[in-house]
Structure 1
Amino acid sequence: MITASPPPALQPGQLLARGVCRHLLHHGFATVEELVPAPGLRVDVMGLGPRGEIWIVECKSSRTDFTSDRKWRNYLEWADRFFWAVDADFPVDLLPEETGLILADAYDAEILRMPSPAPLAGARRKVMVQKFARHAALRLQGYRDPGVTVSGVSP
């Protein structure tokens, strides 16, 4: 992995997400961060693969970050595969064996454990692809016009 300094102002979980997104791109996945699949849920990274597969990756920067996460099981119904992304110092024995495992830093990642697929139903997949597309389009529009938010245009 590259040894350059990480960009300032990003939180540890955001740095992990950056490396995960870079790595998934090498596997043909487009990614978005902080997508809301349902009210009360916000996934760290969602990837849309070349064959329409949907992966969710939750980035955990510490033991406390993981143990305080009470909602992760609710994410399982929104993706074909679910992964944890952690750094090299994370105690991986805490993570459930049936979930995927990605070792990441701010610049790249490596999939250490591939979870078994749990294919989404066609109707759920369609909803998630549409949410992914809208989220990505609104994010892009927000970069072009900083006044744009998910709820409209701010004054």
Structure 2
Amino acid sequence: MDYDLLPGQRLTRGVSRHLESLGFACVPEFVPTRGLRVDIAAIGRSGEIWVVECKSCRADFMADHKWDGYLPWCDRFFWAVDADFPQELLPDGTGLILADAWDAEILREGPESRLAPARRKAVTLKLARTAAERLRRLEDAAF
């Protein structure tokens, strides 16, 4: 039931569902490098990497002082918010996704800033390893 989810978890679920419908594979709570944890890292069919930060309220956004550190780890950056979020707080030049627990809609694409090949390879490998490790732990817990 989505009532058991926290507001940020609802946004993460809706955004992940939408991005998956666009051909992306999503990894929530991904750590691209020490000291950074993004809400959603998504990799597309052609290898493009998007980062989405989910913000459930003004206080959540105001407390986030690391978001610009995420930009060097993706091709596009987005904020995901619900319909009640004051969108005027969000910086220009970033993507915007409107979401709820069930789905999402991209209102504004984040500008593209292509990763260097070596960084892309490192992030892609880390995404793959993170997803595989999480899957193994889930399967292990089932026994």
TM-score by length of 1: 0.89
Offset, 1:9: 2.7
1:57-68 equivalences in 2 (<5 Å): 57-68=52-63
Report what 1:152 is aligned to.
none
Give the number of equivalent residue pairs: 142
Report what 2:36 is aligned to.
41
Pick the structure with greater CA Rg. 1
Name the % identity. 60
Q: Distance in 1 between matches of 2:127 and 2:50?
A: 11
1:128-139 equivalences in 2 (<5 Å): 128-139=123-134
1:142-153 equivalences in 2 (<5 Å): 142-146=137-141
Report what 1:125 is aligned to.
120
Q: Distance in 2 between matches of 1:91 and 1:7?
A: 23
Report what 1:91 is aligned to.
86
TM-score by length of 2: 0.96
Offset, 1:134: 0.7
Q: Deviation digits for residues 92-144 of structure 1, max 9, x if unmatched?
A: 00001100000000000000001210000000000000010011101111111
The CA RMSD measured in Å over matched residues stands at 1.1
Q: Would you tell me which structure has more helix in proportion to its own residues?
A: 2
Q: Distance in 2 between matches of 1:87 and 1:8?
A: 15
Work out which of the residue numbers 85, 88, 106 in structure 1 matches 2:101.
106
